[in-house]
Structure 1
Amino acid sequence: MEWKERMETLLKPLTSPSKEELRRVLQELNTTVKDVEAELGDPDGKPYYRKLLFHNKEVELLVMNWSDLECSPHNHGNSYGWIHVLNGKTEHTVYEVQDGKVPRAIFEEQRGAGEFLYAPVKGVHRMKDDQKSGLITLHLYAPPIKDMVVYDLKACAACVVSEDCGAWWPEETRQRVKELKLKA
Protein backbone atom coordinates (compact mmCIF):
# COMPACT_ATOMS: atom_id res chain seq x y z
CA MET A 1 0.00 0.00 0.00
CA GLU A 2 1.35 3.42 -1.00
CA TRP A 3 2.06 5.93 1.83
CA LYS A 4 -0.71 8.41 0.88
CA GLU A 5 -3.24 5.60 0.72
CA ARG A 6 -2.03 4.29 4.09
CA MET A 7 -2.36 7.80 5.54
CA GLU A 8 -5.99 8.11 4.41
CA THR A 9 -6.82 4.59 5.63
CA LEU A 10 -5.38 5.22 9.10
CA LEU A 11 -6.52 8.82 9.67
CA LYS A 12 -10.06 8.96 8.23
CA PRO A 13 -11.67 6.61 10.80
CA LEU A 14 -10.25 8.42 13.87
CA THR A 15 -12.88 9.86 16.21
CA SER A 16 -11.73 11.75 19.33
CA PRO A 17 -8.53 9.68 19.41
CA SER A 18 -6.70 9.14 22.68
CA LYS A 19 -3.06 10.08 23.20
CA GLU A 20 -2.08 6.41 22.79
CA GLU A 21 -4.18 5.96 19.65
CA LEU A 22 -2.56 9.00 18.00
CA ARG A 23 0.92 7.65 18.70
CA ARG A 24 0.00 4.19 17.44
CA VAL A 25 -1.37 5.63 14.19
CA LEU A 26 1.71 7.83 13.71
CA GLN A 27 3.92 4.77 14.21
CA GLU A 28 1.80 2.65 11.85
CA LEU A 29 2.15 5.30 9.15
CA ASN A 30 5.81 4.25 9.08
CA THR A 31 6.71 7.50 7.31
CA THR A 32 10.09 8.00 5.68
CA VAL A 33 11.64 11.17 4.29
CA LYS A 34 11.06 9.75 0.80
CA ASP A 35 7.29 9.61 1.51
CA VAL A 36 7.12 13.36 2.19
CA GLU A 37 10.06 14.87 0.30
CA ALA A 38 7.82 16.24 -2.49
CA GLU A 39 5.91 18.22 0.18
CA LEU A 40 8.96 20.03 1.59
CA GLY A 41 9.63 23.68 0.80
CA ASP A 42 11.72 26.74 1.52
CA PRO A 43 11.24 28.07 5.09
CA ASP A 44 11.74 31.57 3.57
CA GLY A 45 13.24 33.22 6.66
CA LYS A 46 10.99 31.39 9.12
CA PRO A 47 11.94 28.59 11.53
CA TYR A 48 10.25 26.01 9.31
CA TYR A 49 8.19 25.37 6.21
CA ARG A 50 5.02 23.45 6.94
CA LYS A 51 2.65 21.57 4.69
CA LEU A 52 -0.75 20.27 5.72
CA LEU A 53 -1.02 16.66 4.51
CA PHE A 54 -4.37 15.65 5.99
CA HIS A 55 -7.16 17.54 7.76
CA ASN A 56 -10.66 16.73 8.92
CA LYS A 57 -12.69 17.75 11.99
CA GLU A 58 -10.89 15.16 14.16
CA VAL A 59 -7.17 15.33 13.26
CA GLU A 60 -4.55 17.05 11.17
CA LEU A 61 -1.21 15.80 9.88
CA LEU A 62 1.58 18.21 8.93
CA VAL A 63 5.16 17.85 7.75
CA MET A 64 7.77 20.49 8.57
CA ASN A 65 11.30 21.03 7.37
CA TRP A 66 13.39 23.31 9.51
CA SER A 67 15.79 26.19 8.93
CA ASP A 68 18.53 27.10 11.39
CA LEU A 69 16.12 29.39 13.31
CA GLU A 70 14.36 28.26 16.47
CA CYS A 71 10.61 28.60 16.71
CA SER A 72 9.07 30.70 19.46
CA PRO A 73 7.79 29.04 22.61
CA HIS A 74 4.17 28.13 21.89
CA ASN A 75 1.29 25.85 22.75
CA HIS A 76 -1.22 24.17 20.46
CA GLY A 77 -4.36 25.58 22.06
CA ASN A 78 -6.76 22.80 22.98
CA SER A 79 -5.03 20.28 20.73
CA TYR A 80 -2.65 17.50 21.72
CA GLY A 81 -0.47 15.37 19.57
CA TRP A 82 2.76 13.69 18.64
CA ILE A 83 5.79 14.81 16.70
CA HIS A 84 7.82 12.18 14.84
CA VAL A 85 11.39 13.16 13.98
CA LEU A 86 11.93 11.83 10.45
CA ASN A 87 15.41 13.24 9.86
CA GLY A 88 18.04 15.15 11.76
CA LYS A 89 18.02 16.11 15.40
CA THR A 90 15.88 18.57 17.34
CA GLU A 91 16.68 20.54 20.42
CA HIS A 92 13.39 20.57 22.33
CA THR A 93 12.69 22.85 25.29
CA VAL A 94 9.66 22.42 27.58
CA TYR A 95 8.32 25.36 29.61
CA GLU A 96 6.32 25.77 32.80
CA VAL A 97 3.48 28.28 32.53
CA GLN A 98 1.83 30.12 35.40
CA ASP A 99 -1.24 32.27 34.64
CA GLY A 100 -0.30 35.68 33.36
CA LYS A 101 3.46 35.12 33.64
CA VAL A 102 6.24 34.60 31.14
CA PRO A 103 6.88 30.84 30.63
CA ARG A 104 10.00 29.47 32.31
CA ALA A 105 12.13 26.74 30.68
CA ILE A 106 12.17 23.62 32.87
CA PHE A 107 14.14 21.19 30.70
CA GLU A 108 15.79 20.69 27.36
CA GLU A 109 16.30 17.47 25.44
CA GLN A 110 17.61 16.30 22.10
CA ARG A 111 15.64 13.90 19.93
CA GLY A 112 16.82 12.27 16.75
CA ALA A 113 15.44 10.48 13.71
CA GLY A 114 12.88 7.83 14.64
CA GLU A 115 12.01 9.37 18.01
CA PHE A 116 8.69 10.85 19.15
CA LEU A 117 7.74 13.89 21.24
CA TYR A 118 4.36 14.39 22.94
CA ALA A 119 2.69 17.81 22.92
CA PRO A 120 -0.03 17.99 25.61
CA VAL A 121 -3.00 20.38 25.60
CA LYS A 122 -1.74 23.87 26.57
CA GLY A 123 1.82 22.49 26.94
CA VAL A 124 4.38 25.13 25.95
CA HIS A 125 7.49 24.06 24.07
CA ARG A 126 10.08 25.24 21.57
CA MET A 127 11.98 23.34 18.89
CA LYS A 128 14.93 23.99 16.62
CA ASP A 129 17.18 22.09 14.27
CA ASP A 130 20.11 20.98 16.41
CA GLN A 131 23.38 21.79 14.64
CA LYS A 132 21.85 22.23 11.18
CA SER A 133 21.07 18.53 10.92
CA GLY A 134 18.41 18.74 8.19
CA LEU A 135 15.50 18.40 10.63
CA ILE A 136 12.23 17.10 9.18
CA THR A 137 9.28 16.40 11.49
CA LEU A 138 5.81 14.89 11.08
CA HIS A 139 3.07 16.22 13.39
CA LEU A 140 -0.30 14.59 14.19
CA TYR A 141 -2.74 16.64 16.31
CA ALA A 142 -6.26 16.14 17.60
CA PRO A 143 -8.36 18.12 17.18
CA PRO A 144 -6.81 20.29 14.45
CA ILE A 145 -4.88 23.21 15.96
CA LYS A 146 -6.88 26.33 16.68
CA ASP A 147 -6.05 29.23 19.02
CA MET A 148 -2.32 28.49 19.20
CA VAL A 149 -0.54 30.84 21.61
CA VAL A 150 2.93 32.12 20.68
CA TYR A 151 5.19 33.74 23.29
CA ASP A 152 7.74 36.54 22.95
CA LEU A 153 9.75 36.06 26.14
CA LYS A 154 11.83 39.24 25.74
CA ALA A 155 8.78 41.47 25.27
CA CYS A 156 6.80 39.70 28.06
CA ALA A 157 4.00 39.19 25.53
CA ALA A 158 1.92 36.45 24.00
CA CYS A 159 -0.67 36.28 21.27
CA VAL A 160 -3.21 33.89 19.90
CA VAL A 161 -2.31 33.48 16.24
CA SER A 162 -4.41 32.84 13.16
CA GLU A 163 -4.39 29.38 11.64
CA ASP A 164 -2.09 30.50 8.80
CA CYS A 165 0.68 31.54 11.21
CA GLY A 166 3.31 29.18 12.56
CA ALA A 167 5.19 29.17 15.88
CA TRP A 168 6.78 32.60 15.47
CA TRP A 169 5.72 36.14 16.32
CA PRO A 170 3.35 37.21 13.53
CA GLU A 171 4.63 39.85 11.16
CA GLU A 172 1.15 40.66 9.89
CA THR A 173 -1.27 42.35 12.30
CA ARG A 174 -4.19 40.27 10.99
CA GLN A 175 -2.42 37.11 12.25
CA ARG A 176 -2.55 38.40 15.84
CA VAL A 177 -6.01 37.27 16.86
CA LYS A 178 -5.57 38.36 20.48
CA GLU A 179 -2.55 39.94 22.20
CA LEU A 180 -1.68 39.30 25.87
CA LYS A 181 0.73 41.18 28.15
CA LEU A 182 2.58 38.97 30.64
CA LYS A 183 4.35 39.60 33.93
CA ALA A 184 8.07 38.91 34.14
Structure 2
Amino acid sequence: MAPTSKPQLNEAMPSPAPIDLSKRAHELLAGFSAQGGGNPARFAILVKEDAAFISAALSAAPPAPGDGEPYSRHIIFAGPEGEAMIAHWPAGSLSWPHDHGEAWGTVIVLEGHVIEQGFRLKSDLEEAGSEHAYQTGDAIQVRPGGIHSMRAIPRSITLHLYSPPIREMKVYDQPTRIIYTVADNCGAWIPANRELIKGRETFDHHPLHHEIS
Protein backbone atom coordinates (compact mmCIF):
# COMPACT_ATOMS: atom_id res chain seq x y z
CA MET A 1 0.00 0.00 0.00
CA ALA A 2 1.45 3.30 -1.05
CA PRO A 3 2.23 5.66 1.82
CA THR A 4 -0.12 8.59 2.20
CA SER A 5 1.63 11.86 1.54
CA LYS A 6 1.40 14.46 4.29
CA PRO A 7 0.77 18.11 3.53
CA GLN A 8 3.84 20.28 3.80
CA LEU A 9 3.85 23.44 5.89
CA ASN A 10 4.99 25.49 2.94
CA GLU A 11 2.21 24.27 0.66
CA ALA A 12 -0.15 26.98 -0.49
CA MET A 13 -3.27 27.10 1.63
CA PRO A 14 -6.51 28.71 0.53
CA SER A 15 -6.77 32.30 1.74
CA PRO A 16 -9.61 33.06 4.13
CA ALA A 17 -12.46 35.10 2.77
CA PRO A 18 -11.87 38.81 3.33
CA ILE A 19 -13.76 40.38 6.21
CA ASP A 20 -16.33 43.06 5.45
CA LEU A 21 -15.45 45.32 8.38
CA SER A 22 -18.51 47.51 8.06
CA LYS A 23 -20.92 44.58 7.90
CA ARG A 24 -19.29 42.77 10.82
CA ALA A 25 -19.17 45.92 12.97
CA HIS A 26 -22.87 46.42 12.21
CA GLU A 27 -23.63 42.85 13.30
CA LEU A 28 -21.65 43.23 16.52
CA LEU A 29 -23.28 46.52 17.43
CA ALA A 30 -26.75 45.20 16.60
CA GLY A 31 -26.09 42.38 19.08
CA PHE A 32 -24.73 44.63 21.83
CA SER A 33 -27.93 44.47 23.89
CA ALA A 34 -29.05 40.98 22.87
CA GLN A 35 -25.72 39.14 23.14
CA GLY A 36 -23.68 41.48 25.31
CA GLY A 37 -26.52 42.16 27.70
CA GLY A 38 -25.84 45.88 27.38
CA ASN A 39 -22.67 45.33 29.41
CA PRO A 40 -19.50 46.92 27.94
CA ALA A 41 -17.17 44.34 29.52
CA ARG A 42 -19.19 41.41 28.16
CA PHE A 43 -19.48 43.12 24.79
CA ALA A 44 -15.68 43.55 24.64
CA ILE A 45 -15.25 39.81 25.19
CA LEU A 46 -17.61 39.05 22.30
CA VAL A 47 -15.71 41.40 20.01
CA LYS A 48 -12.28 40.05 20.97
CA GLU A 49 -13.44 36.48 20.31
CA ASP A 50 -13.81 37.39 16.63
CA ALA A 51 -10.15 37.00 15.70
CA ALA A 52 -10.74 37.63 11.99
CA PHE A 53 -12.49 40.92 12.71
CA ILE A 54 -9.76 42.05 15.11
CA SER A 55 -7.02 41.20 12.60
CA ALA A 56 -8.83 42.98 9.77
CA ALA A 57 -9.41 46.04 11.93
CA LEU A 58 -5.70 46.28 12.76
CA SER A 59 -4.85 46.06 9.06
CA ALA A 60 -7.31 48.88 8.33
CA ALA A 61 -5.70 51.39 10.70
CA PRO A 62 -5.56 54.89 9.20
CA PRO A 63 -2.36 56.83 8.53
CA ALA A 64 -0.85 58.99 11.26
CA PRO A 65 -2.87 62.12 12.12
CA GLY A 66 -2.25 65.63 10.91
CA ASP A 67 -0.78 68.40 13.02
CA GLY A 68 -2.76 69.35 16.10
CA GLU A 69 -4.75 66.14 16.34
CA PRO A 70 -3.81 63.42 18.85
CA TYR A 71 -5.06 60.57 16.67
CA SER A 72 -6.49 59.87 13.24
CA ARG A 73 -9.85 58.17 12.71
CA HIS A 74 -11.16 55.58 10.26
CA ILE A 75 -14.93 55.17 10.61
CA ILE A 76 -15.80 51.61 9.56
CA PHE A 77 -19.50 51.77 10.43
CA ALA A 78 -22.04 54.40 11.43
CA GLY A 79 -25.76 53.78 11.73
CA PRO A 80 -28.71 53.79 14.14
CA GLU A 81 -27.25 50.80 16.03
CA GLY A 82 -24.02 52.62 16.80
CA GLU A 83 -20.63 53.41 15.33
CA ALA A 84 -17.24 51.74 14.99
CA MET A 85 -13.92 53.51 14.49
CA ILE A 86 -10.23 52.62 14.30
CA ALA A 87 -7.77 55.18 15.73
CA HIS A 88 -4.03 55.61 15.10
CA TRP A 89 -2.15 57.23 17.99
CA PRO A 90 1.45 58.40 17.52
CA ALA A 91 3.76 57.76 20.46
CA GLY A 92 3.09 60.20 23.29
CA SER A 93 -0.13 61.61 21.87
CA LEU A 94 -2.84 62.65 24.34
CA SER A 95 -6.55 63.26 23.84
CA TRP A 96 -8.41 66.05 25.61
CA PRO A 97 -10.69 65.03 28.47
CA HIS A 98 -14.03 64.15 26.87
CA ASP A 99 -17.26 62.24 27.30
CA HIS A 100 -19.22 60.04 24.87
CA GLY A 101 -22.67 61.55 25.11
CA GLU A 102 -25.23 58.86 25.93
CA ALA A 103 -23.22 56.05 24.34
CA TRP A 104 -22.10 52.77 25.87
CA GLY A 105 -19.29 50.75 24.40
CA THR A 106 -15.71 49.59 24.48
CA VAL A 107 -12.25 50.63 23.30
CA ILE A 108 -9.98 47.68 22.48
CA VAL A 109 -6.21 48.13 22.20
CA LEU A 110 -5.25 46.39 18.96
CA GLU A 111 -1.59 47.35 19.20
CA GLY A 112 0.55 49.29 21.66
CA HIS A 113 -0.01 50.57 25.18
CA VAL A 114 -2.36 53.34 26.29
CA ILE A 115 -3.04 55.10 29.58
CA GLU A 116 -6.53 56.18 30.63
CA GLN A 117 -7.28 58.86 33.21
CA GLY A 118 -10.84 59.31 34.48
CA PHE A 119 -12.26 62.66 35.59
CA ARG A 120 -15.23 64.03 37.49
CA LEU A 121 -16.70 67.49 37.10
CA LYS A 122 -17.48 69.37 40.29
CA SER A 123 -16.46 72.97 40.80
CA ASP A 124 -13.47 72.01 38.65
CA LEU A 125 -12.48 69.06 36.47
CA GLU A 126 -10.79 66.69 38.91
CA GLU A 127 -8.94 63.43 38.37
CA ALA A 128 -11.07 60.49 39.47
CA GLY A 129 -8.65 57.96 40.90
CA SER A 130 -5.33 56.88 39.44
CA GLU A 131 -4.39 56.21 35.85
CA HIS A 132 -5.09 52.81 34.29
CA ALA A 133 -2.74 51.11 31.83
CA TYR A 134 -4.01 49.01 28.92
CA GLN A 135 -1.85 46.74 26.78
CA THR A 136 -2.57 45.02 23.46
CA GLY A 137 -5.76 42.98 23.83
CA ASP A 138 -7.10 44.94 26.80
CA ALA A 139 -10.45 46.75 26.69
CA ILE A 140 -11.62 50.05 28.20
CA GLN A 141 -15.28 50.26 29.20
CA VAL A 142 -17.33 53.28 28.10
CA ARG A 143 -20.50 54.36 29.90
CA PRO A 144 -22.80 57.37 29.48
CA GLY A 145 -21.56 60.45 31.31
CA GLY A 146 -18.06 59.11 31.92
CA ILE A 147 -15.23 61.57 31.30
CA HIS A 148 -11.72 60.39 30.46
CA SER A 149 -8.58 61.09 28.49
CA MET A 150 -6.31 58.63 26.70
CA ARG A 151 -2.57 58.77 26.10
CA ALA A 152 -0.45 56.51 23.89
CA ILE A 153 2.94 55.39 25.21
CA PRO A 154 4.33 53.85 22.01
CA ARG A 155 2.50 54.19 18.70
CA SER A 156 -0.86 52.52 19.30
CA ILE A 157 -3.94 51.39 17.39
CA THR A 158 -7.35 51.22 19.09
CA LEU A 159 -10.77 49.94 18.02
CA HIS A 160 -13.79 51.89 19.29
CA LEU A 161 -17.38 50.59 19.25
CA TYR A 162 -20.23 52.68 20.66
CA SER A 163 -23.98 52.15 20.95
CA PRO A 164 -25.95 54.30 20.33
CA PRO A 165 -23.85 56.62 18.14
CA ILE A 166 -22.06 59.39 20.01
CA ARG A 167 -23.98 62.65 19.79
CA GLU A 168 -22.99 66.05 21.22
CA MET A 169 -19.66 64.87 22.61
CA LYS A 170 -18.18 67.33 25.07
CA VAL A 171 -14.48 68.20 25.25
CA TYR A 172 -13.22 69.75 28.49
CA ASP A 173 -10.59 72.50 28.37
CA GLN A 174 -9.09 72.64 31.86
CA PRO A 175 -6.97 75.83 31.48
CA THR A 176 -9.92 77.97 30.30
CA ARG A 177 -12.62 76.04 32.21
CA ILE A 178 -14.71 75.81 29.05
CA ILE A 179 -16.68 72.79 27.85
CA TYR A 180 -16.98 72.52 24.07
CA THR A 181 -19.72 70.52 22.38
CA VAL A 182 -18.20 69.30 19.12
CA ALA A 183 -19.66 68.02 15.86
CA ASP A 184 -20.34 64.32 15.51
CA ASN A 185 -17.48 63.96 13.01
CA CYS A 186 -14.89 65.42 15.40
CA GLY A 187 -12.56 63.48 17.68
CA ALA A 188 -11.58 64.17 21.30
CA TRP A 189 -9.87 67.52 20.79
CA ILE A 190 -10.79 71.17 20.32
CA PRO A 191 -10.98 71.53 16.54
CA ALA A 192 -9.07 74.22 14.70
CA ASN A 193 -12.09 74.48 12.38
CA ARG A 194 -14.48 76.48 14.55
CA GLU A 195 -17.44 75.28 12.44
CA LEU A 196 -17.03 71.94 14.25
CA ILE A 197 -17.75 73.60 17.61
CA LYS A 198 -21.51 73.43 18.21
CA GLY A 199 -21.67 74.93 21.67
CA ARG A 200 -19.70 76.03 24.70
CA GLU A 201 -20.28 76.61 28.40
CA THR A 202 -18.13 77.19 31.45
CA PHE A 203 -17.51 74.67 34.19
CA ASP A 204 -19.44 76.93 36.57
CA HIS A 205 -22.61 76.74 34.48
CA HIS A 206 -22.59 73.00 33.88
CA PRO A 207 -25.13 71.35 36.23
CA LEU A 208 -23.90 67.79 36.12
CA HIS A 209 -21.21 65.99 38.11
CA HIS A 210 -19.69 63.21 36.03
CA GLU A 211 -17.44 60.42 37.19
CA ILE A 212 -16.02 57.50 35.25
CA SER A 213 -16.71 54.15 36.90
Q: TM exceeds 0.5?
A: yes
1:22 aligns with 2:43: yes
Identity %: 25
Give the CA deviation at 1:55: 1.8
Partner-residue secondary structure (3-state), 1:83: strand
CA contact (8 A) 2:110 2:157 kept: yes
1:19-77 Cα distance to aligned partner (Å, 9 max, x none): 25532432233344554323412211210001111122012111001023200000001
**Alignment-mate amino acid for residue 170 of structure 1:** P
CA contact (8 A) 2:58 2:157 kept: no
Q: 1:9 to 1:62 in 2, by over 3 A?
A: closer
Q: Normalising by the residue count of structure 1, what TM-score does the alignment of the two structures yield?
A: 0.87
Trace 1:139-150 onto structure 2 (pairs within 5 A).
139-150=160-171
The match for 1:71 is: 95
The match for 1:60 is: 83
Trace 1:49-128 onto structure 2 (pairs within 5 A).
49-67=72-90, 68-98=92-122, 101-106=123-128, 107-128=130-151
The match for 2:4 is: none
The match for 1:161 is: 182
1:96-135 Cα distance to aligned partner (Å, 9 max, x none): 123xx332112211110010110110100000111xx121
Distance 2:72 2:98 in 1: 16
Q: What is the aligned length?
A: 179
Q: CA RMSD in A?
A: 2.2
Distance 2:200 2:46 in 1: 35
Unpaired runs of 5+ residues, structure 2, are 1-16, 205-213
The match for 1:3 is: 19
Partner-residue secondary structure (3-state), 2:43: helix
Unpaired runs of 5+ residues, structure 1, are none
Q: Which has the larger radius of gyration?
A: 2
